[in-house]
């Protein structure tokens, strides 16, 4: 696996890891504010499922309806826009007042703070796999396996590694730093797919030097066709002693000799 393939693999793995870290991380903020009732859980699940569908739809649309340069341009623009929305931690002003409708406030909070980065993470796996299949001869389904590994690692590491050892703000800071790394890797993959970064090329194959028999075989063929620079007995021309017995057969002899 070369550096380009490793970049695609790292992008898919990191996107899946961050994607499955978002939901428990944002839940640490909104559950104390909105409570853990069924309405809050249903609203969150509906929000994330809809945005997951939006990310898949975006990946399908740009990969089937836009040119390579168009895909690169829109993807880089959306990556830059998602970086502006960082960090994903909501501030105290998002706390609901007593008269606010919790469902609408919850959706508004999630959309503003999480929506942009979540869509980009959701679109990464299908889009990068499509680009990988177009650039390299390998099967993109290996990236699908990496995506599953990243999501599983995120679900296991959050309750056993991040939550016991880090505060919520520290976890958000680590998530934000990893998202910046993801944005850089994803942008690099987009530039490589659009042809704006030169792909690593294999060293040119060294052709073996021709053997003596091969060299002289081609030389004899060329000379036999032209009838020049050959001895009289090879060219079919009269020799000095008048012997012309090879006149009709000797010009084809080098071809027979090569076979």
Length of the chain (residues): 259
164 and 232 co-located in one domain: no
Model pLDDT, residue 106: 84
Which of 160, 193, 226 is a domain's end point? 193
116 domain-assigned: yes
40 and 124 co-located in one domain: yes
User: How do residues 177-228 score in pLDDT, each as one tens digit?
Assistant: 999 999 999 999 888 888 766 554 433 434 444 444 444 444 444 444 444 4
151 and 240 co-located in one domain: no
- Residue 158 gets which letter from DSSP? I
Domains held by the chain: number: 2
d(CA 47, CA 15): 19
58 and 171 co-located in one domain: yes
11 domain-assigned: yes
Q: Is the pLDDT of residue 98 over 80?
A: no
Model pLDDT, residue 41: 81
198 domain-assigned: no
More confident residue, 33 or 62: 62
Tokens of 99: 């008269």
d(CA 20, CA 153): 9
Give how far the C-alpha of residue 239 lies from the chain's centroid of Cα atoms, to the nearest Å. Answer: 71
118 domain-assigned: yes
45 and 147 co-located in one domain: yes
180 and 216 co-located in one domain: no
User: What percentage of the chain's residues is helix, strand, coil (to nearest 5)?
Assistant: 75, 0, 25
Q: Is the pLDDT of residue 7 over 90?
A: no
Cα maximum dimension of the chain: 124
Q: Is the pLDDT of residue 79 over 90?
A: yes
Handedness of CA 175, 179, 182, 184 (dihedral sign): negative
* Other CB atoms within 10 A of residue 169 CB: 10
d(CA 8, CA 1): 11
Dihedral-angle region of residue 195 (phi above 0 means left; psi in -120 to 50 means alpha; beta otherwise): left
31 and 62 co-located in one domain: yes
Model pLDDT, residue 124: 92
230 and 160 co-located in one domain: no
Query: Residues 20, 25, 29, CA angle at the centre, nearest 5°?
Result: 150
Q: pTM value?
A: 0.71
The closest of 175, 199, 178 to 113, measured between CA atoms, is: 175
144 domain-assigned: yes
Query: Mean pLDDT lowest for which of 14-23, 32-41, 174-183, 222-231?
Result: 222-231
The domain of 33 spans: 3-193
Handedness of CA 122, 126, 128, 131 (dihedral sign): negative
27 and 122 co-located in one domain: yes
Q: Is the pLDDT of residue 235 over 80?
A: no
User: How do residues 113-168 score in pLDDT, each as one tens digit?
Assistant: 899 999 999 999 889 888 888 887 667 778 888 888 999 999 999 989 988 888 88
- In the chain, the N- to C-terminal Cα span, in Å, equals 43
41 and 121 co-located in one domain: yes
Which of 147, 165, 193 is a domain's end point? 193
Give how far the C-alpha of residue 36 lies from the chain's centroid of Cα atoms, to the nearest Å. Answer: 39
Model pLDDT, residue 212: 40
164 and 216 co-located in one domain: no
Q: Is the pLDDT of residue 96 over 70?
A: yes
User: How do residues 41-78 score in pLDDT, each as one tens digit?
Assistant: 888 888 999 999 999 999 999 988 888 888 999 999 99
Model pLDDT, residue 169: 87
69 and 154 co-located in one domain: yes
């Amino acid at each position: 696996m070369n550096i380009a393939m490793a970049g695609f693999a790292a992008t898919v793995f990191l996107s899946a890891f961050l994607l499955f870290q978002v939901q428990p991380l944002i839940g640490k903020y909104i559950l104390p504010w909105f409570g853990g009732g069924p309405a809050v859980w249903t609203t969150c699940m509906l929000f994330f499922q809809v945005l997951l569908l939006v990310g898949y739809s975006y990946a399908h649309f740009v990969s089937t309806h836009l040119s390579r340069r168009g895909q690169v341009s829109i993807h880089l623009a959306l990556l830059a826009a998602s970086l502006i929305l960082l960090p994903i931690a909501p501030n105290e002003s998002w706390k609901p007042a007593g008269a606010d409708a919790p469902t609408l406030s919850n959706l508004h909070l999630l959309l503003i703070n999480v929506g942009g980065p979540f869509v980009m993470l959701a679109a990464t796996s299908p889009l990068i796999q499509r680009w990988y299949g177009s650039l390299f001869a390998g099967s993109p389904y290996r990236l699908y396996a990496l995506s599953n590994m990243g999501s599983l690692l995120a679900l296991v590491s959050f309750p056993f590694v991040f939550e016991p050892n880090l505060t919520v703000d520290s976890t958000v800071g680590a998530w934000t730093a990893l998202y910046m790394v993801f944005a850089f890797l994803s942008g690099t993959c987009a530039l490589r797919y659009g042809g704006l970064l030169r792909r690593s090329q294999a060293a040119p194959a060294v052709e073996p030097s021709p053997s003596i028999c091969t060299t002289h075989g081609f030389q004899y063929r060329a000379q036999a066709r032209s009838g020049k620079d050959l001895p009289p007995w090879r060219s079919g021309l009269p020799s000095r002693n008048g012997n012309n017995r090879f006149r009709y057969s000797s010009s084809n002899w080098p071809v027979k000799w090569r076979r």
